[in-house]
Structures are given as structure tokens and as C-alpha cells.
Structure 1
């Protein structure tokens, strides 16, 4: 029996190339890297706020598609995963949870540029804390002196989540 190592190597290479071509979609094979793709898991990049005549607004900026967001009243705010209390003063709190999402890159570097703990002096919004970035869930806690009446929605281009909290008209 005669072996032809070069012929075997060429044949194996051709079979591997053919198999790979069948698995990789044409759009990926022709990708030049000129366009920036959205991250697989949305990245929470910033949180900011502002006061308006009849409401206070909290905006959470996201890179990628805005994930599912839940907002629920809680009796107290706690850091995830430690469970330690969040030091924000207020009588009412909202826990905001974005999932799936992270506030760090795949290499573990923080991409979140906003405040981790802030006292805020708006008519309703009194404090904000980044409460967690753990196992694909990013959490924020907000503090209020009065029970918040709020409305939430998402905006696009750029992606962001918005929480509006009503208050008496201070512009009138």
C-alpha cells in the first residue's frame, strides 16, 4: 500500500474548506469589517437624568438592542449579588432591571460611564444607584420622597430606556 501524504493533505484541506463554506453564511464571508455590529448582549453604557416642568426623567443608554426592562416598587434597595443595602435616602424606591444585559465587556472591563451612586435634587427623583451587573442582569435603584407615578418607554437611534416620573408643574 502506497501513501501519498501530500495528496491526503490537499484532499483534507479541500473537504474542510468546503464544509466551512457550507456553515458560514455568504453575508459573513463577505463582511469587510467596515460596519460595526451590535454586541450580542446589550451593553448598558450610561445613566443620566433631567428635570422638566411636569416630570423628572431618567435615561439609561444602551449599546445594542434595548433589552427587556422591568420596573417595580420595592421597600428597600439592595446590591446584587451581595445583598448589602444601598445607601440612598428616600421613602419610596423603584428597582429597574435590564435583562439580558451587561455593563462590562467580554474582557471584564466596565463599559458603564454613568454614576454608581448619586444623590439627585429634582422634585421627585432623589437618588440613583447601579445596584448590579451580574449574570446577564444590570440593575438600578431609584429613590423618591413621595410615591412615584411613572411612565416607561424605549427610544431608538440611539437605544435607550426612559423612566418619566410625574410631579406638579413647577413652570407655571
Structure 2
């Protein structure tokens, strides 16, 4: 009799496991070891460096690099509040990535770069994260002289690059 109860319990366990397993969607199987890129691009960092004839600003993105625009603005303002960004400079560029976010689905920041930082390079004088609002991430850059720049994308990993010349535009042919 004890043997029959053990067999019945084992069979019930197998059927229960099979029934529960059948209710799990196929796509929800064991998580893979390689993380899938997020559906919305995530801006995770901003880096910079000085070179002999140019300064470089790099925006690191997780996921596919979204469209990026670079616009000259008279003053940098924080998105949402409209308050002026306290970066010293006479000239400013606004880098806009959209659709993008600097936070995850839970609202936690994934951005590891500077929020507001003075920089002492020949061309680049400061950088700030100025917005992460409604699918748009904006980054401001400050300069003492009118910036002459070129921009491009690099892949694997995804990043947007802005090179700012130290010399007049004539040398950038």
C-alpha cells in the first residue's frame, strides 16, 4: 500500500509539473546569457578626450543608435524646467538623441556619465546631461570659441562621436 501511495504522489508531481510547464509561453523559457539590446536606445555614458588637433566627445549607447542631431544654441537649458544650465562658455551645442532614454523601464537611471562638469580641453569647456524626457535625451557642450566640428557614428559598441577642431575650419577638408 505504501508503494502505491509513493507511485501516486510521484505521478501527481509529474503531471503537475507538466501542466505548469505547458502554461509558460515559449518565449518565456530560461533567460539567455547574452542580454538583448533594449527596445529603446539607452544613453549610458558621455566621455571626452583631447587630441593634437581636436577634442572628442563620445556618447555611449546601449541598443541601436537612434537619430542624432547637433544644434548650435545661444544658451543651454534643462528640458522640462527650462532653467539655464550653469556651464561657462560663449558658444553651446545641443546633442539630441531620439528616441532614446537615460533610464530603464523602472525609471532607474542607466546613465553613468557626468551630469554637469567643467572640462579643461583646448576646445571643449564643459558638458552636461540636460534632458531625459519623453523619449528624448539631450546633452549640452560648452565652448569659449565658435565650435567647428564633425560628427559620425561608430558601431559595436554603438556610440555617437563629435570631433571639435582646435584650428580654423580650413584645416578640416
Q: TM-score, normalised by structure 2?
A: 0.79
Higher mean displacement: 135-144 or 34-43 = 34-43
In 2, Cα distance between equivalents of 1:98 and 1:44 = 9
Deviations 1:49-93 (A, max 9, x none): 000000000001000011110000000000001000000111100
Match of 1:130 in 2: 129
Segments of structure 2 that go 5 or more residues without pairing to the other structure are 1-21, 169-173
In 2, Cα distance between equivalents of 1:126 and 1:64 = 29
Deviation at 1:29, TM superposition (A): 7.5
Deviation at 1:168, TM superposition (A): 3.2
Answering whether residue 65 of structure 2 is matched by residue 50 of structure 1, we say no
Match of 1:66 in 2: 65
- Number of positions where the alignment pairs a residue of Structure 1 with one of Structure 2: 146
Answering whether residue 99 of structure 2 is matched by residue 100 of structure 1, we say yes
Deviation at 1:33, TM superposition (A): 2.1
In 2, Cα distance between equivalents of 1:90 and 1:46 = 22
Match of 1:84 in 2: 83
Instruction: Give the RMSD, CA atoms, in angstroms.
Output: 1.9
Deviation at 1:154, TM superposition (A): 0.5
In 1, Cα distance between equivalents of 2:144 and 2:113 = 23
Match of 2:74 in 1: 75
Deviation at 1:34, TM superposition (A): 3.1
Q: 1:109 to 1:164 in 2, by over 3 A?
A: same
In 1, Cα distance between equivalents of 2:31 and 2:76 = 46
Deviations 1:5-62 (A, max 9, x none): xxxxxxxxxxxx8xxx9xx8xxx58785233211000000000100000000000100
In 2, Cα distance between equivalents of 1:168 and 1:72 = 20
Query: Which secondary structure state, in structure 2, belongs to the residue aligned with residue 165 of structure 1?
Result: strand
Q: How does 1:145-160 map to 2 (within 5 A)?
A: 145-160=144-159
Query: Which secondary structure state, in structure 1, belongs to the residue aligned with residue 101 of structure 2?
Result: coil
Query: Highest CA radius of gyration, 1 or 2?
Result: 2
In 2, Cα distance between equivalents of 1:136 and 1:44 = 11
In 1, Cα distance between equivalents of 2:28 and 2:81 = 44
Segments of structure 1 that go 5 or more residues without pairing to the other structure are 1-16
In 2, Cα distance between equivalents of 1:94 and 1:130 = 12
Answering whether residue 60 of structure 2 is matched by residue 35 of structure 1, we say no
In 2, Cα distance between equivalents of 1:73 and 1:32 = 44
